[in-house]
Amino acid sequence: MTDASARVEKEQSNMLAKGPFQKFLKTIGPGFITGASDDDPSGIGTYSQAGAQLGFSVGWVMLFTFPLMAAIQEIAGRIGRTTGEGISGNLRRNYPISLLYFVVALLFIANVINIGADLSAMADALTLLVGGPSAVYVVLFAAVCVVAIVFLHYSRYVTVLKWTTLSLFAYVVAMFTAHVPWGEAAKGLFIPTVQWNGTYFTTLLAILGTTISPYLFFWQASQEVEEEELKPSAKPLKWAPWQASKAFRRIRADTMVGMALSNIIAIAIIFTTAATLHKAGVTNIASSTDAAKA
């Protein structure tokens, strides 16, 4: 038991005693942060393209994906909390090493592409706001992310991530200022509509791919391990099964809130771009700059 771990657990216990909001903040963690991270710049670009191209008719997909996301992310969280290891650690222990190398290689390729798209979109957005060379901003954002991961203590880094998720609600504010025709939006959200053409199914596949992303499984499982290591009283559930009931309730609540946040923001982006770009006949977002403008 380290002094830092004991201090973190004491701080969390004090938060729990302060009131319902503090209790909520203590409950949310890996699932909430993972859900928010699903609305990364590349995901925002995908949702913007979907709304601009197909209008409100694609909104139902987000309701369809919610139980899928919640179920698979909860499983990932339970794996980390039960075994005390992430997805890759469990693959290494229980499956041939060749399978681990194959999965990690695929994940590495997907993550490099996704991180590149995210950094580029963030740089393009900042260029629109303040001007300047986007290539420099890419390097700057990458450096900030690396420094934060390497030098910030995990508990402080998680606190920063929790509070920065509030920025996503800017998309909800934008939705309510976009003069959304709510009757049409509700129809698109609750009544599935399928257009039998390549554009529709390509967009549908893109939404499913960006919403249910492999890196999210690895991330939530690993975060559960980090959270466990911060608490001296917490042990991997395979060694402390009496902690399972409380831990699983927390993981479920955390994951449900996180995935709900993710989909609410995605719906807000789709509705906003449907009410503005699609209505104006702008149906193609070809670059991260276009997504930032949207």
- Tell me if 106 is assigned to some domain: no
How many Cβ atoms are within 10 Å of 2's Cβ, its own excluded? 10
**Total number of domains in the chain:** 1
Residue 207 structural domain:
25-87+152-293
DSSP state of 285: -
Q: pTM value?
A: 0.85
Judge contact between 77 and 30, C-beta under 8 A: yes
- Tell me if 140 is assigned to some domain: no
- Tell me if 266 is assigned to some domain: yes
Length of the chain: 294
pLDDT for the residue 177: 92
pLDDT for the residue 17: 47
Q: Which of 47, 56, 48 is nearest to 290 (CA)?
A: 48
- Tell me if 115 is assigned to some domain: no
Q: Is 188 a residue whose pLDDT tops 60?
A: yes
Give residue-wise pLDDT tens across range 45-98: 889 989 999 999 999 999 999 999 999 999 999 999 999 999 999 999 999 999
In one-letter notation, the amino acid at residue 220 is: Q
CA separation for the pair 232, 214 (Å, rounded):
30
- Tell me if 138 is assigned to some domain: no
Rounded to the nearest 10 degrees, the angle between the axes of helix 214-230 and helix 3-18 is: 100
- Tell me if 14 is assigned to some domain: no
- Tell me if 260 is assigned to some domain: yes
CA separation for the pair 233, 236 (Å, rounded):
10
Give residue-wise pLDDT tens across range 130-182: 988 889 999 999 999 999 989 988 888 888 888 888 899 999 999 999 999 99
- Tell me if 102 is assigned to some domain: no
